């Protein structure tokens, strides 16, 4: 038994509609609150307006119940009010300047990009890594200031708290010669995998992308309804033999080769992916955007292609009904993803005060207790490991560590995330003794093992030509091809057309 | 002076403004995108592309299929109900009518979610009959839109005409076929247009009931998600064309019918 079972990200469960309404109300409330706030201070001092746009349900909006209190040994953590208000107050206390955050949300990276193209202006947004790369290529971003990286400043929670593992990824991945870290501060991260019901699905089946078209699970698996995730899974499935061959795994340049293979957009691969996904369409329960989690919990499906953050949420929900689910990371490869804060040129417009507020916002959300609040509230994993501040590790242990009387316990090493690969002697300090089943469950999804991470691959930002080819492939998969219309349907259409013509003709004649 | 302010002409201004801002302006934008390419140059490629791609044509066909079947199912269910309700002398008929219309007051996605559970319970898994499920979902959703107009036209029907038909020796069936059915045509037509057109694009029902095949609405969405605003706008424009054609057609038949009614 886990020491403290996480009641789960209580807010994410709301359906599409409820979420939408809540979102509207919340943003409405902020709007009004903000306006009142502004008139309070009008004429007294200057106020910075910071326009932040983030994913839906992706920040702690406060209003926790007493029982949600996270009672770490080092002190309680509790989300009383929205983190956005907390930030406004914190900023005023620290810098003596009023900031008003205009907070809004978007549903997909593509929605965000379309809104930007339409001329909506934001100062700070939180897209996924491929969209950050796209925005970087298009020169739409403001680089982070030097002060942001000043580790001496104790308000710089990001640079002092970001996980060394994540930091090295942000520094080593470059686009047009500049590393991501010049422009982006990470927020949440995760990998993709399969949530499954261990009573119906074998772990070895769930550990391969080939489960998606496995006839043994016909009509029992849902797959993500978006082209990038589907593409990744399909590439993993069709290249399964190569990706799991010993020769490939042991190649000295394995990580680069893996990334190349997983981002392969050659004509032949796209054609094979199309063929594979057409198979999947006939074998899967459905393509889903949001319903997969609920269908998994209610037992409508046996397995579900999921992002790790949502996987944690799904398992938490199912646990409440004593319905244990598990998480598997396909042996071929897993897509590692990051959402990060970036500042937009169109919003900031070289306004130093505004940029300072935006960077302070990134830092404030990176403070260990705030990162924990967000993780608890939304279920995803923060890129923050805390640095000197050990509360993040303490929180992971609080969530998943075993009770003292637990017998079946396994040590789960998170050294790679918390202390980095180069501080090997320190690694032993970051081991969670967890109930053994957690190695296949929430703990594994929230903080994937180093072994799973070793086969992770980024999915790059495709250029226009590649995107066009892949989107065409997707449309070919999803659309009904007119050549597939059976003869009897054509006959029926012809017959009804003839009938209508005769009927209409008679009527016309009669009228004359 | 104030009378002048509230003259008929002036009272129309708010609506004209609304029309210009939220109907005409977007329409121009739609036209602009539909006939331009990424570089902003005029092109017909979006239009010809639509009619030469087996996928878009197939999607149009599939949407038509779903919409037609939904309309027929709705009509077959709605007409008898509307007829019985309108002609019966039941005191509780307004209550019964309300029972049919009441689902409209409950949020649509909530109803579809409930339907999803019921269908899962009946079929075991929703994955095997996507077309059937979609038609059921749409029919469930749009049925009141079919019942109401038919009910209204039949209940307004002049009973003297039926009596006259009886006097002249027509049987029940004949009277129905010659009098009631032709005279309820306007109700049927407005019901059909209220069901058919939304059924072509309402992809939320498909999504919620796990039909993985695109219809027109989802196809437009996928074009926009791929930043292809031009192709997406063209599809929206073509749909608009179909709507216009459909409206013209039904209006034509309606006019013919009123004339036919007068001849009777």
Per-residue pLDDT tens over the stretch A348-369: 998 999 999 999 999 999 999 9
DSSP-derived 3-state class of residue A367: coil
Q: Are A193 and A331 in contact (CB under 8 A)?
A: no
The ranges assigned to domains in chain A are 16-190+339-400, 193-335
Which residue numbers of A have CB closer than 8 Å to B's CBs? 15-17, 108, 110, 113-114, 117, 219-220, 225-227, 281, 284-289, 291, 300, 467-468, 471, 474-476, 478-485, 489, 507, 511
Has residue A30 got a pLDDT over 80? Answer: no
Q: Please state, in angstroms and rounded to a whole number, the distance separating the CA atoms of residues B56 and B60.
A: 6
Sign of torsion, CA A390 A395 A398 A401? negative
Interface contact flag, B125 A480, Cβ < 8 Å: no
Has residue A425 got a pLDDT over 60? Answer: no
Q: At residue A288, what are phi and psi to the nearest 5 degrees?
A: -135, 150
Interface test with A, best of B25, B55, B130, B250 (most A CBs within 10 A): B55
Q: How does pLDDT run across A114-168, given as a tens digit for each residue?
A: 999 988 999 999 999 999 999 999 999 999 999 999 999 999 999 999 999 999 9
Q: Provide the whole-model pTM.
A: 0.86
Mean pLDDT on A177-201: 96
Q: Is residue B95 part of a domain?
A: yes
Domain of B99: which CATH number?
Answer: 1.10.3720.10
Chain A contact set for B207 (CB, 8 A):
225, 289
Q: What's the pLDDT at A31?
A: 38
Q: What's the pLDDT at A22?
A: 38
Which class does domain A193-335 fall in? alpha beta
- C-alpha torsion A265→A268→A270→A276, nearest 10: -140
Confidence of residue B171 (pLDDT cuts 50, 70, 90): confident
> Which of B58, B224, B259 has the CB atom closest to A484's CB atom?
B58
Interface contact flag, A288 B226, Cβ < 8 Å: no
Question: Between the ranges A23-32, A37-46, B32-41, B95-104, where is the mean pLDDT highest?
Answer: B32-41
Is the minimum CB–CB distance between B7 and chain A shorter than 8 Å? no
Q: Please state, in angstroms and rounded to a whole number, the distance separating the CA atoms of residues B79 and B69.
A: 15
In this structure, of A73-87, A333-347, A492-506, the range with the lowest mean pLDDT score is: A492-506
> Which of A110, A468, A482 has the CB atom closest to B54's CB atom?
A482
Chain A contact set for B212 (CB, 8 A):
281, 284, 286-287, 478
- Domain boundaries, position B123: 58-156+185-263
Is the minimum CB–CB distance between B110 and chain A shorter than 8 Å? yes
Q: What's the pLDDT at A1?
A: 36
Q: What's the pLDDT at A421?
A: 56
Q: Are A105 and A55 in contact (CB under 8 A)?
A: yes
Mean pLDDT on A458-487: 92
Q: What angle do CA A338, A183, A336 make, to 5 degrees?
A: 15
Helices A368-378 & A391-400 angle (0-180, nearest 10): 30
Has residue B235 got a pLDDT over 70? Answer: yes
Q: B63-84: b or e for each residue (b if 16 or more CB lie within 10 Å)?
A: bbbbbbbbbebbbeebbebbbe
Interface test with B, best of A135, A480, A495, A505 (most B CBs within 10 A): A480
Q: Is residue B180 part of a domain?
A: no
Q: What's the pLDDT at A238?
A: 96
Q: Is residue B237 part of a domain?
A: yes
Q: Please state, in angstroms and rounded to a whole number, the distance separating the CA atoms of residues A142 and A131.
A: 15
CATH of A16-190+339-400, one of 3.30.530.20, 3.30.450.70, 3.40.190.10, 3.40.50.880: 3.40.190.10
Q: Is residue B39 part of a domain?
A: no
| Neighbouring C-alpha atoms within 13 Å toward the C-beta of B223 | 22
ipTM of the complex: 0.84
Q: What's the pLDDT at B97?
A: 82
Q: What's the pLDDT at A508?
A: 63
Question: Residue A48: which H helix or E strand, with range?
Answer: strand A47-55
Mean pLDDT on B239-264: 72
Confidence of residue A423 (pLDDT cuts 50, 70, 90): low
Q: At residue A123, what are phi and psi to the nearest 5 degrees?
A: -95, -35
Provide the mean pLDDT of chain B. 87
Q: What's the pLDDT at B170?
A: 85
Is the minimum CB–CB distance between B207 and chain A shorter than 8 Å? yes
Confidence of residue B89 (pLDDT cuts 50, 70, 90): confident
Percentages of chain B per state (helix, strand, coil), in multiples of 5 = 85, 0, 15
Q: What's the pLDDT at A511?
A: 59
Q: Is residue B165 part of a domain?
A: no
Tally of domains within chain B:
1
Q: What's the pLDDT at A23?
A: 39
Q: How does pLDDT run across A378-392, given as a tens digit for each residue?
A: 989 999 999 888 899
Interface contact flag, B222 A474, Cβ < 8 Å: yes
Distance from the Cα of A400 to chain B's closest Cα (Å) equals 34
Q: Please state, in angstroms and rounded to a whole number, the distance separating the CA atoms of residues A482 and B55.
A: 6
Q: A99-111: b or e for each residue (b if 16 or more CB lie within 10 Å)?
A: bbbbbbbbebbbe
Q: Is residue B65 part of a domain?
A: yes
Q: How does pLDDT run across B34-77, given as a tens digit for each residue?
A: 999 888 889 999 999 899 999 999 999 999 999 999 999 999 99
Q: What secondary structure letter does DSSP report for B120?
A: H
Q: Is residue B103 part of a domain?
A: yes
Interface contact flag, B222 A471, Cβ < 8 Å: yes
Q: How does pLDDT run across B124-145, given as a tens digit for each residue?
A: 888 888 999 999 999 999 999 9
- Domain A16-190+339-400 shares a fold with domain A193-335: yes
Chain A contact set for B40 (CB, 8 A):
none
Q: What's the pLDDT at A36?
A: 36
Note the Cα B178 to chain centre separation in Å: 27
Give the C-alpha distances (Å, rounded to integers) separating A445 from A60, A336, A374, A379, A433.
20, 12, 16, 10, 16
Q: What's the pLDDT at A259?
A: 95
Q: What angle do CA A389, A125, A392 make, to 5 degrees?
A: 15
């Amino acid at each position: 038994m886990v020491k403290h079972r996480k009641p789960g990200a209580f807010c994410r469960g709301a359906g599409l509609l409820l979420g939408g309404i809540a979102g509207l109300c919340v943003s409405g409330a902020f709007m009004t609150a903000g306006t009142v706030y502004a008139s309070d201070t009008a004429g007294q001092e200057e106020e910075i307006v910071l326009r932040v746009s983030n994913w839906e349900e992706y920040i702690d909006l406060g209003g926790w119940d007493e029982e949600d209190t996270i009672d770490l040994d080092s002190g309680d953590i509790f989300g009383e009010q929205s983190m956005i208000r907390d930030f406004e107050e914190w900023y005023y206390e620290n810098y003596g300047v009023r900031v008003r955050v205009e907070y809004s949300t978007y549903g997909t990276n593509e929605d965000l990009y379309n809104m930007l193209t339409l001329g909506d202006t934001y100062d700070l947004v939180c897209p996924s890594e491929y969209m950050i790369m796209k925005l970087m290529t298009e020169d739409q971003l403001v680089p982070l200031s030097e002060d942001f990286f000043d580790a001496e400043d104790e308000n710089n929670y990001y640079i002092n708290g970001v996980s060394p593992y994540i930091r090295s990824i942000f520094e080593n991945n470059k686009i047009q010669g500049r590393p991501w870290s010049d422009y982006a501060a990470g927020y949440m991260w995760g990998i993709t995998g399969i949530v499954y019901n261990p009573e119906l699905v074998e772990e070895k089946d769930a550990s391969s992308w080939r489960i998606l078209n496995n006839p043994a699970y016909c009509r029992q698996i849902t797959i993500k309804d978006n082209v990038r995730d589907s593409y990744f899974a399909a590439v993993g499935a069709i290249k399964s033999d190569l990706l799991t061959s010993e020769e490939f795994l042991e190649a000295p340049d394995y990580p680069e080769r893996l990334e190349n293979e997983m981002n392969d957009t050659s004509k032949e691969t796209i054609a094979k992916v199309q063929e594979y996904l057409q198979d999947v369409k006939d074998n899967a329960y459905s393509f889903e955007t949001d319903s997969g989690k609920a269908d998994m919990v209610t037992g409508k499906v046996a397995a579900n292609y999921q992002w790790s953050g949502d996987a944690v949420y799904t398992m938490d929900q199912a646990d409440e009904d004593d319905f244990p689910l598990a998480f598997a990371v396909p042996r071929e490869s897993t897509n590692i993803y990051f959402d990060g804060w970036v500042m937009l040129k169109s919003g900031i417009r070289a306004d130093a005060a505004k940029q300072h507020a935006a960077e302070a916002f990134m830092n404030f959300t990176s403070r260990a207790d705030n990162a924990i609040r967000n993780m608890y509230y939304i279920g995803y994993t923060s890129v923050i490991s805390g640095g000197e501040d050990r509360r993040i590790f303490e929180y992971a242990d609080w969530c998943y560590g075993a009770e003292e009387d637990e017998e079946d316990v396994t040590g789960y090493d998170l050294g790679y995330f918390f202390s980095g690969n180069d501080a090997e002697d320190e690694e032993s300090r970051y081991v969670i003794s967890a109930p053994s089943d957690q190695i296949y469950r929430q703990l594994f999804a929230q903080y994937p093992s180093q072994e799973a991470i070793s086969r992770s691959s980024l999915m790059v930002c495709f250029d226009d030509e590649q995107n066009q080819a892949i989107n065409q492939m997707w449309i070919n998969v999803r659309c009904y091809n007119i050549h597939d219309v059976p003869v009897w349907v054509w006959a029926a259409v012809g017959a009804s057309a003839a009938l209508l013509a005769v009927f209409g003709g008679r009527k016309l004649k009669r009228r004359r | 002076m104030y009378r002048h302010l509230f003259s008929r002409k002036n009272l129309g201004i708010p609506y004209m403004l609304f029309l210009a801002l939220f109907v005409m302006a977007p329409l121009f934008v739609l036209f602009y995108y539909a006939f331009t390419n990424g570089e902003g140059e005029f092109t017909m490629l979006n239009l010809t592309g639509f009619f030469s791609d087996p996928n878009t044509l197939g999607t149009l066909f599939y949407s038509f299929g779903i919409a037609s079947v939904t309309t027929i199912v709705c009509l077959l269910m709605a007409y008898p109900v509307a007829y019985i309700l309108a002609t019966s002398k039941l005191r509780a008929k307004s209550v019964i009518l309300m029972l049919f219309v009441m689902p409209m007051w409950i949020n649509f996605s909530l109803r579809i979610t409930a339907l999803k559970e019921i269908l899962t319970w009946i079929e075991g898994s929703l994955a095997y009959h996507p077309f059937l499920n979609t038609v059921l979902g749409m029919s469930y959703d749009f049925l009141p839109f079919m019942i109401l107009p038919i009910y209204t036209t039949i209940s307004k029907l002049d009973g003297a005409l039926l009596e006259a038909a009886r006097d002249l020796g027509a049987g029940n069936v004949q009277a129905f076929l010659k009098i009631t059915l032709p005279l309820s045509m306007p109700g049927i037509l407005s019901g059909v247009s209220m069901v058919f057109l939304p059924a072509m694009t309402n992809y939320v029902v498909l999504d919620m009931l796990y039909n993985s095949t695109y219809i027109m609405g989802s196809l437009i969405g996928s074009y926009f998600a791929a930043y292809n605003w031009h192709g997406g706008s063209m599809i929206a424009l073509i749909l608009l064309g179909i709507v216009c054609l459909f409206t013209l057609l039904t209006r034509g038949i309606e006019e013919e019918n009123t004339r036919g009614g007068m001849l009777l």
